[in-house]
A and B are shown apart, each in its own frame.
Chain A
Amino acid sequence: MIPASRLAPPLRASRPINLKTEPINGAKGIPLGNGQQLLSLRMAICQALDEEMRRDERIFVMGEEVAQYNGAYKVTKGLLDSFGPDRVIDTPITENGFAGLAVGAAMTGLRPVIEFMSWNFSFVAFDQIVSNASKMCYMTGGMFPIPLVMRGPNGAGPRVSSQHSHAVEALYSHFPGLIVVSPSTPYDAKGLLKTALRQDNPVCFLENEMLYGHEQDIPVAEYLIPFGVGDLKREGGDCTIVAINRCVHWALEAAETLAKEGISCEVVDPRTIKPLDIELIVESVRKTGRCVVVEECYRTGGVGAEIAAQLMELAFDDLDAPVERVTTTENPMPYAENLEHETLPKPHRIIAAVKKACSR
């Protein structure tokens, strides 16, 4: 059994950003009394940055429009006012340049946080991430660890078409030396980002534009969430759904519908793709005998492929059906809204996969 303490606080419905009513400083949550505060995912990230920058003066934030414009998605709102231009730095549109700069800064002992306005733009900095950030510590015999956090929105936004809709969990978890974090809730995002800022490895911190407005009651008191520890977002007995990032919300929606048809789903959110909490997934599959993996990456070589392979290795005799994968279909993301809907691993596709796994 998974202890109840592993269960995260309940989610609230998403709310679009309202610049007039949101606090001036994104790091300041809305107090709810009884030790809780209301935070959107955007604010949770800002609060984690704010708290850690106060705690450790080596941390600085760098990226396109992170300072004077308060971030393209207002994630760094108020940080320039709080920490000044030495620690919150606007860069030109040069991902390859500032990623390299950050690797160098980390080698001197600083702890940079760089924002990719979108992870799609990380592709022009691919060499810095894969060849330098992830290899430097190894290649220097441990002399130069790279405590670098790379963060930004990942996955499909609404109708941003083929070049700007990539999900990169599978891509970056392929390379040894990188930690890949993909949180789905404000609570998880804050706790995981604080952990990322206190350890010495390069971290790909994958947010989602569509989740920035999601709100949740979370503790005012400080907490951290370790890497490699997944979370049960819903308990159930018939089928395990492993879902990542935005797909967690689609999986919960699908589970709700399936419950009405008498199929009880357990939703597992690994939270970090690398390291992966395969133990939690196996534990759940031992209970249900079935597994559906839902992700925004493509099917070939996706995270689902990896999880399916590990389940085959570790839980073969516990599987009552082949592992199903619900992924972004293997085509460039269409611009048209109806086609985007069919391309993404939305609830109707998850429901079909769960029924197939359950032979229903």
Chain B
Amino acid sequence: MDSIAPRVPLGPKALADPLAPALANLATLALGESGGGITILKTRQPMILEQLLPAKSPTMTEGTIVAWRIQPGDAVKSGQVIAEIQTDKAVIEWEAADNGTVAAILVPAGQVAQVNSIAAIFTSKAGEDAAAAIAAAKDKNTKLNAAAVPAAAATPAVAPAANPLSTPIAAPALAPKAETPTGRGGLRISPLAAKIAAKLGIDVRQVKGSGPEGRIIRRDIEAAAAAGTARIGAGAAGTKPERPALTLTRPDAADTAVAMTPMRKAIARRLSESKAQIPHFYVTDRVDAAALVGLREQLNAFAGVKITVNDLIVRAAALALRQHPEVNATFDGTSIRRTDSADISVAVAIPDGLITPIVFKAHTLTVAQIGTQVRALAKKAAEGRLQPAEFEGGTFTISNLGMFGIESFTAIINPPQAAILAVAGISDEPVVRDGAIVPGKVLRLTLSADHRVVDGAAAAGFLRTLRGLLERPAGLLL
């Protein structure tokens, strides 16, 4: 025992020495340039300012730079517009958050890039070397955008064959839920049994399980194999096992593949979610529109006035919503919010798809004011210049296909709203007036409502009020 000495020399010196240079460094950093008295750290490193492609709407995952307003070498001030970005909904101006000099533009105009891609690099001072940062940023962009491809390809979450009515509604969750209550496509089978079955070519759907709760286990597969039954293709009772028919679409030379624009993707995703997850129901009503048409003609007789049927319907809907707050509501999956103000989204068709700019507080506006606003918003939408505040946050949507002379149609609810009104065209039809059949003008309205929020009686009540307002339209001018 005496011969055993500690293997490591101990003592304050031995321990302190290796740390000494680090401690000295620390001291220098803390003291800053002048060596004493100053407690603010100063940096001499050139500062690289990465400009990350921003998410300009809550649903934006990728975007396109429509145009850069800067070029390498430019001095940029915080707040200056540096580019225009096409989001999934609109073209939006991008303002710089930093002062600096443009060292490089990494996402060229016209190219789709994931949010948080490094679109440009600034340096804090002109002429600083940013080569390393640019190379690293290019690398990062490549990885970020490569990683996004499979994720995006896997996005269509709603199975096309699924009947929306049979899809269980998970109250708070908006994501679709897989429903295979017994696993492996309705079969209970142990992993080992499944493996052996695949190896032996046994059709497990024809095997009866002897394990707990009918689970197919190894011995069931081995028994089936020994008996020579349940071979795939053989059929247990002489019938072929059913296989889902596959329809293959072969591309034709005349076909055109159309790339999905960010807006098209957003429409596809949001409407699929809405139709699959919201229990829609539909109520249609027939409005005698003769008085409405007459009123419009009278109003348009004034010089400089241009009122459309749609303007009158927006006004009427706004007044009806005020009387039926249960329809003027939004639902976030857990709670319902009834809104005092009738903020009406008006569906506007644009070349890329459609968008729903909002006439806020429509119940406080005159028919003429509504008309002016709708046309201004439609013009901005067509130019792709709507700002998010102009199309996010409505409480009710009106979709009007009347200009196409459509007899009637149903619309898909625009979540989180609880209802949408589909407005068809006004047609000449016989109507019964004072007991006699006479030529009349008929307008069909269909309300799509979310049954989680609105019940049938409420929807019908709303439509009755709306019909009343449209059939005696003088009240719309009050």
Contact = CB atoms under 8 A, between A and B. Distances in A.
B1 interface: yes
Contacts of B191: 316-320
A321 B1 contact: no
A86 B212 CA distance: 63
Contacts of A321: 190, 211, 217
Contacts of B210: 359
Interface in A44-77: 57-58, 60
A58 B210 CA distance: 61
A197 B8 CA distance: 22
Contacts of B217: 320-321, 359
B6 A109 contact: yes
Interface string A319-330: 111000000000
A105 to B, nearest CB: 10
A202 interface: no
Contact of B195 (A57, A143, A318): A318
A222 B350 CA distance: 89
Contacts of B5: 109
Given A143-B8, A289-B218, A359 B195 contact: no
A109 B2 CA distance: 11
A143 B210 CA distance: 60
B192 interface: yes
B218 A108 contact: no
A235 to B, nearest CB: 19
Contacts of A210: none
Given A58-B1, A289-B218, A318 B192 contact: yes
Contact of A144 (B4, B8, B194, B219): B8
A318 B192 CA distance: 5
Interface in B184-230: 190-195, 210-212, 217-219
Interface residues of A, number: 18
Nearest to A318: B192
Nearest to B211: A359
A359 B212 CA distance: 7
Nearest to B209: A359
B240 interface: no
Interface string B339-366: 0000000000000000000000000000
Interface residues of B, number: 18
Interface string B63-81: 0000000000000000000
A57, A87, A317: most-surrounded residue (chain B CB, <10 A): A317
Interface in A295-312: none
A289 B192 contact: yes
In this complex, the member of A144, A289, A320 whose beta carbon has the largest number of chain B beta carbons within 10 angstroms is A320
Nearest to A312: B191
Interface string B97-139: 0000000000000000000000000000000000000000000
Query: Which of B5, B212, B217 neighbours the largest number of chain A CB atoms within 10 Å of its CB?
Result: B217
> Which among B4, B8, B190 has the greatest number of chain A C-beta atoms within 10 A?
B190
Contact of B4 (A58, A143, A316): A58
Contacts of A144: 8
Given A289-B192, A359-B210, A320 B218 contact: yes
Nearest to A359: B211
Main secondary structure of the interface of A (DSSP, over half): loop
A57 B8 contact: no
A229 interface: no
Contact of B7 (A109, A316, A319): A109
B327 to A, nearest CB: 51
A33 B172 CA distance: 77
Interface string A321-354: 1000000000000000000000000000000000
Contacts of B4: 58, 108-110
A320 B193 contact: yes
Contacts of A359: 210-212, 217, 219
A305 to B, nearest CB: 19
- Among B190, B192, B193, the most chain A Cβ lie within 10 Å of the Cβ of B192
Contact of A57 (B1, B7, B193, B212): B1
Contacts of A320: 190-193, 217-218
A355 B35 CA distance: 79
Nearest to B195: A317
A316 B194 CA distance: 11
Contacts of A110: 1, 4
Interface in B213-270: 217-219
Contacts of B7: 109
A109 B4 CA distance: 7
Contacts of A319: 190-192
Interface in B1-57: 1, 4-8
A108 B3 CA distance: 12
A183 to B, nearest CB: 29
Contacts of A58: 1, 4
Nearest to B221: A320
A92 B7 CA distance: 29
B342 to A, nearest CB: 56
B192 A317 contact: yes
A92 to B, nearest CB: 22
Interface string A276-305: 000000000000010000000000000000
Contacts of A318: 191-192, 195
Contacts of A87: 1
Contacts of B195: 317-318
A58 B212 CA distance: 58
Interface string A100-129: 000000001110000000000000000000
Interface in A251-296: 289
Interface in A216-248: none
Interface of B: 1, 4-8, 190-195, 210-212, 217-219
19 contacts: A58-B1, A58-B4, A60-B1, A87-B1, A109-B5, A110-B1, A110-B4, A144-B8, A289-B190, A289-B192, A317-B194, A318-B191, A318-B192, A318-B195, A319-B191, A320-B190, A359-B210, A359-B211, A359-B212
Among all A-B residue pairs, the 3 with the closest Cβ atoms:
A320-B192, A320-B218, A320-B190
Interface of A: 57-58, 60, 86-87, 108-110, 143-144, 289, 316-321, 359
Given A110-B4, A317-B192, A359-B211, 14 more contacts: A58-B1, A87-B1, A110-B1, A143-B8, A144-B8, A317-B191, A318-B195, A319-B191, A319-B192, A320-B190, A320-B191, A320-B217, A320-B218, A359-B210
